[in-house]
Chains A and B, each alone.
Chain A
Amino acid sequence: MARKDFLDIVSLDREEIIQLLDQAEPFKDLFTRSVKKVPALKGKTVLMLFYEPSTRTLSSFEVAAKRLSADVTTFDVPSSSVTKGESVRDTIDTLQAMRADYIVVRHGLSGQPAAIARQTGASVINAGDGAHAHPTQALLDAFTLREKFPEMEGKRVLITGDILHSRVARSTSTILRKLGVKVAFLGPGSLVPKTASPEIPRFTNYDQAIREFGPDAVYLLRIQKERMAAPFFPSDREYHNLYGITDERLRQLAGQGTYIMHPGPINRGVELCDAVLDYDRCLISQQVENGIAARMSVLYGLKPQTS
C-alpha cells in the first residue's frame, strides 16, 4: 500500500525501507547511461518549498525530480514568513492554487511538513524539519552503507557530534536500527542527551567509543556555526581535538578499515581534517550521488491524492 507522504522514518516499517532501498538501485544504474531520465513522473508537478536555505538538498531533489521527468517549480518563500508567524493555513492557501502533485518541504520548525501534509492532497516529502527528522538523508545513508555491507544486520555505526540538535542523527539512527545495524552516539556531554534513547549506547570519549564499540563506520555530524558560538563546548579547536577526525585518528581508522560518512556540508578542521577527503573509505561523495537515487525512489513510491 503506497503512502501519500514521506515525513519521517519512525513511521516506516522494515519492509517499506527495504523496498525503497531496492527501488533506488535501478535509478542509480541509470546515472551511468547517456539518457539519465525515465518518464515515471511525466506530467506531474513537484514543488520545492524551502523555508530554510539549503542549496545541496534543494539541488538533489531538483535533479531527482527532473530525472523522473517531472515539472519542477521552486517556490520562493518570502523571507518575512521564514522567520516567524506565517501559519500553516496561510501557506496551504497559497499552495493549493499551485496544484502541485508533490511538495518537498524544508522548514526550521519541527513538525511543519506533517502539518502541511494533513491539509493537502499533494504528497509531502520532508526535506528536513527543525531538529525533528530528515528522512531522505536517512534513506541515502542506509543506501550508501548497504552498498558496502549488503548484509547490514549487526554492523556498527558510531554517530558523532551534535546529537542534541541534529535531525540527521534522529532519522539516520532510526533507519539503521530498523535495518538491524547497531548504533552508538558520541559527542560532548552537552550535546549527547541522556534522554535520546535508552537502547543507544552513549559515549563522550572518542578513544573509549572506538575501543568499546568498534564501529564499521563513523558518521560525522556537521557542527553548526551557531553552536560554536553558543557555549555547548569551549571552541571548535577543542572540539576537533576531542571529537574530530585528526590525521592521527584517520591513520587508526584506516588501519581498522573503518568507513567515514558525513551528511555535508563539512567544516574542515572541525569534524574532520583535509586528509579525510582523500581517504579511500570516505563515503561523502557517494552519499551525495546516492541522495539523488534515494530521492527518486521516494518520489516514485508515493501516491499523491490529487486529481
Chain B
Amino acid sequence: MNLFLKGGEVASENTAPARADVWIENGRIKAVGADLAEPEGARVVDVSGKIVMPGMFDAHVHFREPGGEHKETILDGSEAAINGGITGVVMMPNTSPSIDSATVVKRVLDAAKECRIPVLTSGCITVGRKGHEMAGIDGMKKAGVLMLTDDGDAVPDAALLKRAMEYGSEFGMFFASHCEEPQLAGPRALNEGAVSYRLGIEGTPALAEEISMSRDLALAHATGATLHIQHVSTAIGMEQIKWWRDERGAKVSGEVSPHHLMFTDEDIGDYDTHYKMNPPLRTAEANVALLEGLKNGAFRIIATDHAPHTEFEKSRAFEDAPNGISGLDTALVSLFDRFIDKGEFGWDLIVKRYSAEPRRMMELEVAEVAEGKIVDLIVFDPNGETTFTKEFMKSKSSNTPFLNKTLKGSVEMVVLGDEVLLER
C-alpha cells in the first residue's frame, strides 16, 4: 500500500497539531513534513482541516467472551474500538469463566487473533475473582498477561492482596485495582447523595472508593508493587494517588473514564439506566476536579471501562439493571465534543493520555506519526459530526447515553500497518 495523506494537521503527545503531509508505504511511515511532493503511484487522500494522529489505546474494556457473547464478543468489541479510532485494547478478566489461568488466557488470545487490532488481556489476581486463592500468575505471565486485576470487585482480603503483590511483582507483573469497600458500597446502583435520596435507592458513597483506594495504595507502597487505580470517580481518591506517587515515590497511577468527566448522578433523571455504572456517576464538583486532574497529570491514562449490556438487560428496574455503559464507539468523539472543541484541553493531551501512556503502561511501542514508524494512525475530522445510532455502533450493545445523539467530530480513517481498517 502506498498512501499519501495530504494537508492534515499531525498531532503528537508533546506538540499541538501542525500542518504536515504523511506518506505511507508498505506499512511504514516513509515521510512526514509540510508540503511533501506527492509520491508517484500513491493514493492521495485530501485530509486538509483534519487531525492525523496515532491510534488510541484503551486499557480497560469488558469484552464478554467467554460467557457473555450475547452482550459482546471479542470480535465485535474490537470492531467497536476501530469504529472509535482505537487501535489496541486490554480486556478485563471478569468473564465467565474468569480469565484466571493460562488456559483461559490462551483461549481468549486465540479468539482475539481474528481481530484486526491487537487485543490484550489482563488476568485475575484471585481464582474466579472470588478473593480466596491466588490465581496462576506464572502461567498467565507466560501466556502474555502483564496486568493483574479482579476488576468488578476489590480484593476483599488485604493480607491476600499484599501477598499477591509480593509474589506477582517478582514476575514483572503490575496490579490494577477496582477500589470499593463492599460493605460501604451497598447495592451499587448510584452515588449516595441528594439524587439517591430523591430516587429512593440506597447509594454508594464516595467513601467506599476512597477507603479501598487508600488501602491498596498503601499496600503498593509497602510491597513495592506497581499499582494502577482503575476508573477513579472521586477527587479524594485522585488526590491520594497523586500524594503516594509524588510525596512517597510509590509506583502508582490512575485512570479516568470519559463518563466520569462528563456526567453526574443528576443525569439519571427518572431512573435512566444508561447512566448506571460502577463506580457511579458523582457530582458536578467531581467532574471539575477529575478534569483538572486529567489536565495537571494526576491521571496517567483515559480508559472507557467499555461495559456492554443488552437493551433487555438495561430495561430492567434501575436497581436490578446491570452496571456499565458501552464506550469504545463513542469515547474519542465525545471527548472532542465536550472538551477539545470547547478549548478545555488540546489534542496533545488526548494523544498522551489515550494513546502513548496506556501503551507505555502495557510495555508496548508507542504509536507515533513520525518517519520510520510502523503505521498506526487515525484521521479525525473536527468539522464532521457523528450520530450514534444502533446501526452506526459496532458494539453488539448500544447501552450508551449518546444513543441517537449527534456529537461534533468524526473518526474518518483508521490505518494500521499495511491496512486501512476504516474509511468513511
Contacts and interface: CB of A to CB of B under 8 A. Distances in A.
Interface string A3-26: 000000010000000000000000
A87 B311 CA distance: 11
Interface string A190-211: 0001011100000000000000
A193 B200 CA distance: 12
Interface stretch (B32-40, B191-199, B376-384): B191-199
Contacts of B271: 110-111, 114-115
Contact of A110 (B194, B312, B319): B319
Nearest to A112: B317
Nearest to B320: A84
B200 A195 contact: no
A88 B315 contact: yes
B200 A115 contact: no
B201 A131 contact: yes
A109 to B, nearest CB: 4
A196 B317 contact: no
B318 interface: yes
Contacts of A89: 312, 315
Nearest to A171: B200
Contact of B199 (A87, A111, A115, A197): A111
A167 interface: yes
A277 B270 CA distance: 39
B43 interface: no
A269 interface: no
Contacts of A195: 192-194, 196-197
B281 to A, nearest CB: 15
A133 interface: yes
Most A Cβ at <10 Å: residue of B200, B201, B312: B200
B316 interface: yes
B192 A115 contact: no
A109 B318 contact: yes
B298 to A, nearest CB: 27
A87 B194 contact: no
Most B Cβ at <10 Å: residue of A10, A111, A197: A111
A129 B271 CA distance: 13
A130 B201 contact: yes
Interface in B179-210: 192-194, 196-202
Contact of B317 (A109, A167, A170, A197): A109
Contact of B320 (A109, A132, A133, A197): A109
Interface in A112-164: 112, 114-115, 129-133
A133 B199 CA distance: 8
Interface string B110-146: 0000000000000000000000000000000000000
A87 B319 contact: no
Most A Cβ at <10 Å: residue of B194, B198, B199, B201: B198
Contacts of B318: 109-111
A111 B199 CA distance: 7
Contact of A109 (B194, B198, B319): B319
A110 B199 contact: yes
A132 B193 contact: no
A87 B270 contact: no
A88 B317 contact: yes
A85 interface: yes
Interface string B267-288: 0001100000000000000000
A89 B317 CA distance: 10
Contacts of A110: 199-201, 271, 317-319
Contacts of B198: 10, 170
A195 B192 CA distance: 8
A147 B300 CA distance: 63
A115 B270 CA distance: 9
A80 to B, nearest CB: 14
B320 A130 contact: no
A193 B195 CA distance: 12
A248 B140 CA distance: 70
B205 to A, nearest CB: 10
Contacts of B315: 87-89
B271 to A, nearest CB: 4
Contacts of B200: 110-111, 129-133, 167, 170
Nearest to A132: B200
Interface in A165-201: 167, 170, 193, 195-197
A130 B190 CA distance: 15
A47 to B, nearest CB: 19
Contacts of B312: 87, 89
A10 B194 CA distance: 14
A111 B317 contact: yes
A185 to B, nearest CB: 11
Contacts of B317: 87-88, 109-112, 115
Interface string B282-324: 0000000000000000000000000000001001111110000
A197 B312 CA distance: 34
20 contacts: A10-B198, A84-B320, A85-B320, A87-B317, A88-B317, A89-B315, A109-B320, A110-B201, A110-B319, A111-B271, A111-B318, A115-B317, A129-B200, A131-B200, A131-B201, A131-B202, A132-B199, A170-B198, A195-B193, A197-B197
| Shortest beta-carbon contacts, A-B, top 4 | A132-B200, A131-B200, A111-B271, A110-B200
Interface of B: 192-194, 196-202, 270-271, 312, 315-320
Given A87-B316, A111-B200, 9 more contacts: A85-B320, A88-B317, A111-B271, A111-B318, A130-B319, A131-B200, A132-B201, A195-B194, A196-B197
